[in-house]
Amino acid sequence: MKQQGKDIGLCLCKMCRQLNSTELTHCQRCQAELHIRDYSSLQKSWALLITAAILLVPANIYPITILTNQGQVRHDTIFSGILHLVNSDMLPIAMIVFTASILVPWIKIIGLSIYLCAISFDIPISKKKLMVGFHAIEWIGRWSMLDLFVISITVALVNMGQLLDAKPAPAATAFALVILLTQLAAKVLDTRLLWDRLEPQDDTN
């Protein structure tokens, strides 16, 4: 009973979600190119994801801010910044920052690689769970930007020389790239591939 669009000769435009016949090469409503399945998207997504995973290392080991407080210079990595928040009794804020800048990037990279593995290597994981996870990743991914916003506000506000001064440090660029690349990796992927590949093995999931 369950029919896919490509079996009945229909294809959804990725741009405007107009229903098109598979005979057409371009959408009849918005003239965007139509793909019944975009197989190259899998490779693109892998490439972006692996690059992001590599950049996650410098993002975490290099300092992300340099804070000068009355002559004392402190180099803070993402993690040591959070530890400092915990030590100064700001647990709720520490939890927000921890979620946004450590948990979310890791969940995104691990989750996406599980998802891509399931497509690439035909691993029989419940497709429904994978898809729910994918939507969650798409939604939560943007929240990593929180750390960059906080840095930009702090840097603009706190510039009083030796007394109190905040500056961004190299990890900020790496972290920005991690966010950008993981978001792109999720965006570029044609999720319909998952539902094609696993179909013969487990029909119920």
Positions touching another protein (CB under 8 A) are 2-12, 14-19, 21, 29-32, 69, 85, 88, 90, 93, 96-97, 127-128, 131-132, 134-135, 142-143, 145-146, 148-160, 163-164, 167-168, 172-173, 176-177, 179-180, 187, 191-192, 194-196
Which is nearer to another protein, 46 or 127 (by Cβ)? 127
In angstroms, give the least distance from the CB of 49 to another protein. 18
Closest by CA position to 120, among listed 33, 47, 11, 14: 47
In angstroms, give the least distance from the CB of 29 to another protein. 7
In angstroms, give the least distance from the CB of 143 to another protein. 6
Which is nearer to another protein, 47 or 169 (by Cβ)? 169
Which is nearer to another protein, 5 or 58 (by Cβ)? 5
Which is nearer to another protein, 75 or 142 (by Cβ)? 142
Which is nearer to another protein, 16 or 83 (by Cβ)? 16
In angstroms, give the least distance from the CB of 30 to another protein. 6
In angstroms, give the least distance from the CB of 168 to another protein. 5
In angstroms, give the least distance from the CB of 16 to another protein. 5
Looking at beta carbons, which pairs linking 195-199 to residues 24 or more positions away fall under 8 Å?
A: 195/4, 195/127, 196/4, 196/37, 197/119, 197/122, 198/118, 198/122, 198/124, 198/127
Which is nearer to another protein, 57 or 135 (by Cβ)? 135
Query: Rounded to whole angstroms, how far apart are CA atoms 101 and 79?
Result: 9
What DSSP string describes 22-37?
Answer: TT-SB-TTT-PBP-S-
- Cα-atom radius of gyration of the chain, to the nearest Å? 22
What tokens were used for 33?
Answer: 């190119």
Q: Is residue 166 within a helix (H) or strand (E), and if so which, with residue range?
A: strand 164-168
Query: Rounded to whole angstroms, how far apart are CA atoms 32 and 11?
Result: 12
Look-up of token digits 């798409």: 138
